[in-house]
Structure 1
């Protein structure tokens, strides 16, 4: 699970990453990455809207993404902000598919 310092919590932070960050699209997710250059831990945020499914489905997808990001945390540069937006067909994706997409997008990221 992601610790508090590794999570985006403010709406303004989400908006800044989505507007100014680099975009990487997959079949089930869109990943936005931004580097602030600050000396702090990398932070992750998740956008899973109601088109994905019921609350149970959305929370399942969010938990899968949190586990993927916790696993990938050591490879993400310090000071980075990452927002992962799940597309409506993301409910059909398994853990392995989500992991493959997110790891591919995070590895494409330039420091």
Structure 2
């Protein structure tokens, strides 16, 4: 699980990041990235019911969160909202990790 300072939790923050951030797409996820306001990188995950049932959605969220946790700290710090697409429900860990390549390349 991500440490508490590295999580986006407020709806207003989710809206701000999605509206003002740059968008990167992959077959399994859409990343909305903007500069961090708090000075630390923060991540929020959105996994809709289109991805699968509760077990599948939580698995996708855990896999994405674990990959991000292993990459922290990011320099420069960024705020990111990750929106999982339906293909993420059947993707393995490596495929989900591939969705974060644009973010890692931009460092």
Q: Point out where structure 1 has 5 or more consecutive residues left out of the alignment.
A: none
* Structure 2 match to 1:105: 102
SS at match of 2:49: coil
**SS of the counterpart of 1:32?**
strand
Q: Distance in 1 between the 2:97 and 2:57 partners?
A: 16
How far has the Cα of 1:40 moved from its partner?
Answer: 2.3
Q: CA deviation at 1:33?
A: 0.5
**Stretches of 4+ aligned residues off by more than 6 angstroms:** none
Q: Residue 107 of structure 1: CA displacement?
A: 2.2
Unaligned runs of 5+ in 2: none
| 1:65-105 per-position Cα deviation (integer Å, ceiling 9, x unaligned) | 00011011223422x10110000111011101111221x12
1:39–1:18 Cα change, 3 Å:
closer
RMSD over aligned Cα atoms: 1.4
Question: Contact 1:33–1:109 (CA<8 Å) still a contact in 2?
Answer: no
1:85 maps to which residue? 83
Aligned positions, number: 107
Question: TM-score, normalising length from structure 1?
Answer: 0.89
Question: 1:23 aligns to what?
Answer: 23
TM superposition score normalised by structure 2: 0.92
The one-character-per-residue Cα deviations of 1:10-39 (angstroms, maximum 9, x if unpaired) are 001001111110000001000110004x45
What is the match of residue 52 of structure 1? 51
